[in-house]
Chain A
Amino acid sequence: MKEFIRIENLFYKYDQSDDSDNYALRGVDLTIYGGEFVAVVGHNGCGKSTLAKHMNSLYLPTTGDVYIDGIDTHDDERLFEIRKKVGLVLQNPDNQIVVGVVEEDVAFGCENLGMPPDVIRQRVDKALQAVNMYEYRKHSPEKLSGGQKQRVAIAGIIAMEPECIVLDEPTAMLDPQGREEVMNTIKQLNKELGITIVLITHFMEEAVCADRVVMMDEGKIFMTGTPKEVFSQVELLKQHRLDVPQATELIYKLKGCGYELPDGVLDEEECVQALLGLFDQNL
């Protein structure tokens, strides 16, 4: 796998003139490979959003380096090149839709890049189909649900054909149905179009879908691994005031009561299997 994003010893503080030790990020090292689906998890204020904004040059490191496909984000000349490669989707869908017609909003990025009209048309149609919003192309965004709006925002990024999409808590403001729509779209983009996904979230159930989970606390990464590896470290997560998926929690508590159960149970299905196994043993 090709290295896509490389972050080396990244320190960042918001107020550069502040001499104190007020760093939002304190020495982050992270490599994200092409085609990967990475979830970055941590509670509020752990620096995960700040990290996301480093991935397309919105923020520049105070010290340390960020390379996107080999390009240093400090390089002003290649700013648009970086932003074409890495798209960023924000939390509130209402605040990132610029134009009052769905398809024209999706076209916004391509229009900024000065593409010819027929190319933009093609890309917009393709992007809207990719997020299943093609039939709403003439609608105005305020008539759509939260999940639909967020998918339009994602389409606006896809139309620019990025290699990687960074999503900063894209489901935090959505209802359960909208959350599911958006999550399905993200998984589909990763599987079918091979787009690298970096999903910033505080929902553990969402992190389970990723290939790799990065756990953050106080501006540092304290653990990375597959969801199975990460969520079997229930105690370590609790120390960092983080939750685990409900199924994992249940199994963990049962084990605490002395039952023989496997580690790394992530969803209801596996939980049911584990419990059935327990019954079989006892019979």
Chain B
Amino acid sequence: MVREITLGQYLPGNSFIHRLDARSKIILIFAYIIFIFMCRNFISLLVMSLFSILVILITKIGFVKYLKSLKAILIVIILTGIMNIFFGSGDILWQWWIIKITEGGLINAAFVVIRISMLMMISSVLTYTTSPTDLTDALERLLKPLAYFHVRVHEIAMMMTIALRFIPVLIDETDKIMNAQKSRGADLENGNLIRRIKSLIPVLIPLFVSAFRRAGDLATAMECRCYNVVGKRTRMRVMHFSMTDLIALISCLVVFSSVIVLNIFFPSVI
């Protein structure tokens, strides 16, 4: 049961998007999210949507996978969509008692639904095509300037690395402990919520004890390999901005600037 939890949803591959530097992916996707919220009319929204669909196709990961990522936030999408339908202004299309549907509301709803869906799908592009280690590595490098403000970027990144490494280990352990407790007659699945939470205590305590023991071992192993916070650390992997990144950057610039142009030349509907 516990085993089904997967961490990150990295799907290895060798597409153009997979090969991009993780740092460029983070920055460009961040920019995409800003620009999709800057769209003021359907044409620019259409351009951005088509662009993200194109990106998705380039990743060579089945479209179904992306739809699945949408399923996770389906309720959020539906709720915000419905809210927007009823709380808009403009021509009233249909009315019953105090509930009314307006043209503005419908347009707002359409925008919100498309924006959230695109945001979710493009973020999935990042998590599907970048391994968790690449992701933390890229974040560490991108956040490096924060070290000037005494943010301990390296330590935070090391914690993330260790967390990523040990989450599957601890999930495995949880599974074992649950089975051990079940074999002693513990009932972990029945009863009301409070009872079920209570029945987790005999699972959590051994899990914590073992986690601390592992932490002690890990600290020893890290010490043996000369880990220290003060010394200057280097990295084996060199991240560099390649031709691929340049192509991606240019195409993003073209699309994003077209949004601005389209916003200027076509009337805003929102």
Contact = CB atoms under 8 A, between A and B. Distances in A.
Interface of A: 53, 56, 58, 80, 83-84, 87-88, 90, 92, 94-101, 103-104, 107-117, 120-121, 124, 141-142, 153, 156-157, 160
Given A56-B224, A100-B132, A160-B226, A90 B217 contact: yes
Contacts of B169: 94, 142
A110 B237 CA distance: 12
B228 interface: yes
Chain B binding surface SS class: helix
Nearest to A79: B226
Chain A binding surface SS class: helix
B131 A108 contact: no
B236 A92 contact: no
Given A58-B223, A98-B222, A110-B236, 8 more contacts: A100-B161, A112-B226, A112-B227, A112-B231, A114-B231, A117-B235, A117-B236, A157-B225
B226 to A, nearest CB: 4
A156 B225 contact: yes
29 contacts: A58-B220, A58-B223, A58-B224, A84-B226, A87-B224, A90-B217, A92-B214, A95-B214, A96-B218, A98-B162, A99-B161, A99-B165, A100-B132, A101-B131, A104-B237, A108-B225, A109-B226, A111-B233, A111-B235, A112-B225, A112-B227, A113-B231, A114-B232, A114-B233, A114-B234, A116-B234, A156-B225, A157-B224, A160-B226
Interface of B: 131-133, 161-162, 164-165, 168-169, 172, 214, 217-218, 220-228, 231-238
Contacts of A99: 133, 161, 165
Contacts of A124: 236
Contact of B165 (A100, A110, A114): A100
B228 A98 contact: no
Given A100-B132, A104-B133, A111-B234, A95 B226 contact: no
A107 B236 contact: yes
B224 to A, nearest CB: 4
